[in-house]
Amino acid sequence: MRTYCSDVEERNVNKYGVNELRKMFLDFFESKGHLVMKSFSLVPHNDNSLLLINSGMAPLKPYFTGQEIPPRKRVTTCQKCIRTGDIENIGKTDRHGTFFEMLGNFSFGDYFKHEAIAWCWEFLTEVVGLEADRLYPSVYLDDDEAFDIWNKEIGIPAERIFRFGKEDNFWEHGSGPCGPCSEVYYDRGEKYGCGKPGCTVGCECDRYIEVWNNVFTQFDNDGHGNYTDLSQKNIDTGMGLERLAAVVQDVESIFDVDTIQALRNRVCELAGKTYKEKHEWDVSIRIVTDHIRSATFMISDGIMPSNEGRGYVLRRIIRRAARHGRLLGIEGDFLANLSSTVIEGSKDGYPELEEKKDFIFNVLTQEESKFNKTIDQGLNILAEMEENMEKEGRTQLSGEDAFRLYDTYGFPLDLTMEILEEKNLTIDEEGFQAAMKEQKEKARKARKVTNYMGADVTVYESIDPAITSEFVGYDKLSWESDVTAMTTEEAVVDALTDGESGTIIVEQTPFYGTMGGQCGDTGVIRCGDGEFVVQDTIHLAGGKIGHIGRMTSGMIKLGDKVELSVNPAGRADTCKNHSATHLLQKALRTVLGSHVEQAGSYVDAHRLRFDFSHFSAMTPEELAKVEQIVNDEINAHLPVRTSVMTLEEAKKTGAMALFGEKYGDSVRVVQMGDFSTELCGGTHVANTGDIAVFKILSESGVAAGVRRIEALTGPGVFAYYKELEDRLSEAVKIVKATPANLAEKLTHLMAEVKQLSSENESLKSKAARESLGNVMDQVKEIKGVKLLAAKADGADMNGLRDLGDQLKEKLGEGVVVLASEKDGKVNLVAMATDSAMAQGAHAGNLIKGIAALVGGGGGGRPNMAQAGGKNPAGIPQAIAEVEKVLEGQLK
Ligand SMILES: [Zn+2]
Ligand SMILES: [Zn+2]
């Protein structure tokens, strides 16, 4: 057991170290049936709401929401956490840092308040040995259940239990699961107190500090403040390990607990300064001490310094640490040196720190020296800018200047801000953002060259040209090799981590890169916890093979020995399709003639496409013949042999070479029995029998003299017929037939449809004739001319004209005006017979005279006119107006 020198009052507590306390906690909850889980990575998995894991509960969210099933209903962890929300204030006081470890025990629908409270008490008092009379529980105002447990079951007197409101003791995050909390406070004694009369639990001073928080997730908030009981109640507890250590070791702050103190001392040693001598120094000492912990852990989880997202958080942390080291007078690179003290102190709980030591030091030193190179220059420029500001009487640095510092000298905005703040100067942040946006636009425009994947070509151009890869996958689907280069979509990097997309290059790969019409392999690359899903494989300039994809967990870094596994089903199906194109080419030459040359091809796991020279569309008979030949050669089970030889030798074998293709000195020849011999670098089946079956889907023209065949093989053919079968049985079901009598049934149905529609036609015209009878009652006589003006509902312009013609006939001589409303619009038709026209009637002028009443316009000839309108409500008025207008026209 360790002991620590301190001049504080003697207490009856064993002064356990940070590493001991972590182990004690996990062992204790293991003895209570909990599964001890390793700390999750600081990089959130499948969670875009967080940049970095910031609590013990955060990585367990899917278990709380029920999205995933936990490995056990009781889980305990010590989780590494980073919070950078108020990074500007870190160091100013000793209350907190960006990095901390959180102890937690969790119940997913298992135990609840009784056990959670009892075990919390047992751990604090019996395991750690804190004095019970220094501990004060608090509960949520209305939570009598928790109050009673503390009071009656644990035996804490009622006056020592505090009730707090929603702000302190209710955990809630918008709508969804929520619930009351119960915290435990520890009285550190008068020496930490403010001495004010009301000083007790809840006071702002450092005397009573919260060591444990139990969250009882028991309600569901519907978002409107209505709470209902959750069917599955959860327990989520949290306790800061460093804070517990500060209490147990009875030291002033987290910066004084054993492991962090060792680190702090190392900072002081390097700087030649003493802690607690000068406030200004203390701030810098605490910043360096805290930030080097965060940086070490972040890098060990694969986060790399960058200008975006969590990479930027890391860059900022490293640069702040570097700068405050310089303020303390430390010369040269020192971060890796300090990081080794972090690793020494924490490797007990986090063995990955020791494993990735060299990598961590490397990343830190690179970033630090990059920063050091620019900082002096940047500081000089900033000093000049400050001078100018003073001359011009400004206290605000312009956005362009701040951006110039950022862009040219690598000064992060917040660093510039921090330096200026010390002199009571500010920055035009909006101006900075505007300048940044403008530059990004420019960069986007300048970066138009992309490959077919849409990836940035220039990324690959930045890879060391000396790096090459070798394809070893003709007969192997998995292989071990070293990572020689990696990129994100934007930059060459040293590591890829959970959620990032990018490209991995290795020395030797079993993955086939897209080439010669054959699509690249898919699969997975693994290293320990790290998993990279390969979505495509391509050839890059300089003999490199790039595996393009996304990290789905953990990290993979440069130099790692990785396990590369090609998706076997995808490869097998691709091979079937590729080998079939060789058989197809020979079959086409056999059926169509030797003018057939390959003009292009595409094969992937799902289908094949073969373009060839030929000058007319193939007949169904030719297609059937070609398909038959290919299937015969499949059934002949021809062995497929590949050999590498010189081009001269290959020509002697009669190999078909691609027209216009350049070949190297040695070529690969693929032979299928005596039937087909081709030069080809692709992957193939071992025997044509493996293709199983071949089916042509279509033949079409793609250019002058170039035809295209699309076809399927093996499982693709079965899937194709299965789909046809499904469609057939659906159709059969609809017409209540069987596949056997479907055609007969459809013939009957078509005849029936024809008969019914002719019946329908005659019924419709009968109905129209009948409705005319009634309309004839509305005929009026104006100055001896018969007028029929009526509304015919639902008719379109054509129907209205037909109706008009019929009515005109029925009328003998006279004028017909019809109006209809259809789909909210008005149609008008006017017609006049010869004798009506002789008496002065003019259909065109008639319609002109009434169209305005239905919100429209129109006109036409004297015998026939039509118009449209937008106001159906005006129809009765328009019809009434007809009489007046016609009366005016007639002699
Ligand atoms: Zn106080
Ligand atoms: Zn081929």
Ligand 2 centre from 620 Cα, in Å?
A: 26
Ligand 1 centre from 203 Cα, in Å?
A: 5
CATH class of 571-721: alpha beta
Instruction: Give the model's pLDDT for residue 768.
Output: 58
Residues around ion ligand 2, judged by CB within 5 A, are 680, 682
Ligand 1 centre from 136 Cα, in Å?
A: 15
pLDDT band (50, 70, 90) for residue 209: very high
Of 132-146, 165-179, 834-848, where does mean pLDDT reach its minimum? 165-179
Mean pLDDT over residues 502-512, rounded? 96
Q: Which ligand is nearest to the CA of 682?
A: 2
501 vs 406: which has the higher pLDDT: 501
Instruction: Give the model's pLDDT for residue 7.
Output: 38
Contacts of 717 (CB under 8 A, 6+ apart): 692, 693, 694, 695
Q: Which ligand is nearest to the CA of 516?
A: 2
Instruction: Give the model's pLDDT for residue 636.
Output: 96
Ligand 2 centre from 636 Cα, in Å?
A: 20
Ligand 1 centre from 202 Cα, in Å?
A: 8
331 vs 776: which has the higher pLDDT: 331
Statement: residue 510 has pLDDT above 70: yes
Detail the DSSP E strand segments found in 355-499: 396-397, 426-427, 470-471, 478-488, 492-493, 495-497
pLDDT band (50, 70, 90) for residue 604: very high
Ligand 1 centre from 132 Cα, in Å?
A: 20
Instruction: Give the model's pLDDT for residue 167.
Output: 87
pLDDT band (50, 70, 90) for residue 705: confident
Q: Do 719 and 573 contact (CB within 8 A), yes or no? A: no
Mean pLDDT over residues 260-282, rounded? 95
* Cα–Cα dist 595/337, whole Å: 73
Q: Do domains 571-721 and 774-888 have the same CATH topology?
A: no
Statement: residue 619 has pLDDT above 90: yes
Question: Would you state the structure tokens that stand for residue 692, as one six-digit string?
Answer: 């199983």
Instruction: Give the model's pLDDT for residue 661.
Output: 55
Instruction: Give the model's pLDDT for residue 309.
Output: 83
Q: Which ligand is nearest to the CA of 187?
A: 1
Ligand 1 centre from 133 Cα, in Å?
A: 18
Mean pLDDT over residues 294-318, rounded? 90
Instruction: Give the model's pLDDT for residue 216.
Output: 95
Q: Do 410 and 378 contact (CB within 8 A), yes or no? A: yes
Ligand 2 centre from 602 Cα, in Å?
A: 10
Instruction: Give the model's pLDDT for residue 790.
Output: 87
Tell me: the pLDDT tens digits for 443-454? 666 444 444 444
Mean pLDDT over residues 779-784, rounded? 88
Q: Which ligand is nearest to the CA of 201?
A: 1
Instruction: Give the model's pLDDT for residue 452.
Output: 40
Ligand 2 centre from 476 Cα, in Å?
A: 19
pLDDT band (50, 70, 90) for residue 640: very high
Statement: residue 375 has pLDDT above 70: yes
Q: Which ligand is nearest to the CA of 600?
A: 2
Mean pLDDT over residues 165-182, rounded? 87
DSSP helix/strand/coil, 859: strand
Residue 736 has, within 13 A of its CA and on its CB side, a CA count of: 2
Instruction: Tell me if the domain spanning 18-250 has CATH number 1.10.340.30.
Output: no
Ligand 1 centre from 300 Cα, in Å?
A: 40
Q: Which ligand is nearest to the CA of 205?
A: 1
Ligand 2 centre from 512 Cα, in Å?
A: 13
Ligand 2 centre from 515 Cα, in Å?
A: 10
Ligand 2 centre from 700 Cα, in Å?
A: 21
Tell me: the pLDDT tens digits for 526-576? 998 899 999 999 998 888 999 999 999 989 999 999 999 999 999 999 999
DSSP helix/strand/coil, 411: coil
* Cα–Cα dist 690/680, whole Å: 19
* Cα–Cα dist 685/573, whole Å: 9
Question: Would you state the structure tokens that stand for residue 748, as one six-digit string?
Answer: 């009957």
CATH class of 464-566: mainly beta
Statement: residue 811 has pLDDT above 70: yes
Give the dihedral sign, CA 41/43/45/47: positive
Question: Residue 259's Cα: distance from chain center in Å?
Answer: 39
Q: Which residues belong to the annotated binding site for Zn(2+)?
A: 578, 582, 680, 684
pLDDT band (50, 70, 90) for residue 765: low
What residue spans define the domains of the chain? Answer: 18-250, 259-373, 464-566, 571-721, 774-888
Which of 689, 749, 736, 690 is closest to 571 using CA atoms?
690
Ligand 2 centre from 655 Cα, in Å?
A: 11
* Cα–Cα dist 705/30, whole Å: 76
Ligand 2 centre from 662 Cα, in Å?
A: 15
Tell me: the pLDDT tens digits for 453-493? 444 456 887 888 889 999 999 989 999 999 999 998 888 88
pLDDT band (50, 70, 90) for residue 610: very high
Q: Which ligand is nearest to the CA of 661?
A: 2
Of 153-162, 324-333, 660-669, where does mean pLDDT reach its minimum? 660-669
Beta-ladder partners of 831: 816, 864
Mean pLDDT over residues 341-354, rounded? 93
885 vs 423: which has the higher pLDDT: 885
Ligand 1 centre from 206 Cα, in Å?
A: 7
- Average of per-residue pLDDT values in the chain: 89
Instruction: Tell me if the domain spanning 774-888 has CATH number 3.10.310.40.
Output: yes
Q: Which ligand is nearest to the CA of 683?
A: 2
Instruction: Give the model's pLDDT for residue 372.
Output: 83
Contacts of 145 (CB under 8 A, 6+ apart): 113
Q: Which ligand is nearest to the CA of 608?
A: 2
Q: Which residues belong to the annotated binding site?
A: 578, 582, 680, 684
Instruction: Give the model's pLDDT for residue 458.
Output: 64
Ligand 2 centre from 533 Cα, in Å?
A: 27
Ligand 2 centre from 513 Cα, in Å?
A: 14
Statement: residue 871 has pLDDT above 50: yes
Ligand 2 centre from 724 Cα, in Å?
A: 30
pLDDT band (50, 70, 90) for residue 820: confident
Statement: residue 757 has pLDDT above 60: yes
% the chain with pLDDT above 70 = 94
Mean pLDDT over residues 142-154, rounded? 95
Mean pLDDT over residues 728-747, rounded? 91
Helix ranges (H only) for 613-699 are 620-635, 647-652
Contacts of 816 (CB under 8 A, 6+ apart): 787, 788, 789, 804, 807, 808, 829, 830, 831, 832
Instruction: Give the model's pLDDT for residue 770.
Output: 64
% the chain with pLDDT above 90 = 56
Q: Which ligand is nearest to the CA of 657?
A: 2
Q: Which ligand is nearest to the CA of 515?
A: 2
Instruction: Give the model's pLDDT for residue 63.
Output: 86
Tell me: the pLDDT tens digits for 651-665? 787 776 654 555 667
Tell me: the pLDDT tens digits for 58-105? 899 888 877 788 999 999 999 999 998 888 888 888 888 999 999 999
Ligand 2 centre from 718 Cα, in Å?
A: 24
Ligand 2 centre from 579 Cα, in Å?
A: 7
Question: Would you state the structure tokens that stand for residue 241, as one six-digit string?
Answer: 């390990």
Ligand 2 centre from 584 Cα, in Å?
A: 11
Q: Do 828 and 847 contact (CB within 8 A), yes or no? A: yes
Q: Which ligand is nearest to the CA of 581?
A: 2
Highest mean pLDDT among 295-309, 329-343, 360-374, 441-455: 329-343
Instruction: Give the model's pLDDT for residue 414.
Output: 76
Q: Which ligand is nearest to the CA of 603?
A: 2
418 vs 212: which has the higher pLDDT: 212
Ligand 2 centre from 619 Cα, in Å?
A: 26
Amino acid symbol at 386: E
Ligand 2 centre from 623 Cα, in Å?
A: 21
